[in-house]
Structures are given as C-alpha cells and as structure tokens.
Amino acid sequence: MITQNSTLPNPFEWGLSPQTATLLSREPEILADLVQERLLPPLPPGYVPTVVEVLFDDVPYIRSENGILTYVRNCDSNYEPLFIEYRFDDEIALFQINSEYVINRIEGMAIALAAQGFLH
C-alpha cells in the first residue's frame, strides 16, 4: 500500500491510470515539478517554439534551436524510457509516462494545424 506524503499532491486525483499515478507517487521530485506545470494553460495555436528539447528519464537527448539540431545524445535502440518530456522554450509542453500523457499543453497547437490542413 502506498502512503501519500501530505505535503505533495495526490496524483491519484489527476485522472491518470492507477499505474501512472503509482509511478508518480514514487517520484516525489518529479511530482513536485509537475504540480505547477499542470496549472499552466495550453500553448496557443500558432505558437512556434524557438528551443525544443526532448528528455528521457530527466536526461537531455535532443535539442533544437531555431529548427537546427544542436545536441543529440546516443541512445541504445532497445532503450525504453519511463519518463519522456518535451520542453518548448524551457517549459514542459508534453510529459508522458510510458504512453500516458500527464501534461499535454500542445493539444491546441495540433488542433490549429489540423484545421489549417497541415495534419492529415
């Protein structure tokens, strides 16, 4: 049985699967970081980030600045990160655990692109 720390939010109240909530409850530092990020509004339609970073298990693997790759870390082809984070201009845009989205601030961007015919 998992006991929640009373100073941390309860990820079981976030509408996540029990598996994802359990994983988050075991990672208090990640949980604390995500609390404030979950309160941020979606990124606006038409927003184009200057810097895009992809982190696997809190380690940077890809960085792009103004559309140019500036950093790529080698990654074993069998590596399956538990936590995947996409940062746009130093803010979490998307955070997933396994295949479940914990934070998705890019949904509005995708809807705008689809409406303009860029996504099929």
41 lies in some domain: yes
Does residue 3 lie within any of the structural domains?
no
The verdict on residue 109 lying in a domain is yes
pLDDT tens for each residue of 1-11: 444 445 778 99
Let me know if residue 80 belongs to a domain. yes
Report the helix count and the strand count for the chain, using DSSP H and E: 3, 6
Q: How many domains does the chain have?
A: 1
Residue 119 has pLDDT above 80, yes or no: no
Question: Which residue range is the domain that position 33 belongs to?
Answer: 11-115
| CB-CB contact of 109 with 26 (8 Å) | no
Question: 93 pLDDT exceeds 70?
Answer: yes
Q: Tell me whether residue 2 is in a domain.
A: no
Structure token pair of residue 27: 């990672």
Tell me the angle at which helices 28-39 and 18-25 cross, rounded to the nearest 10 degrees.
Answer: 120
Sign of CA dihedral 86, 88, 90, 91: negative
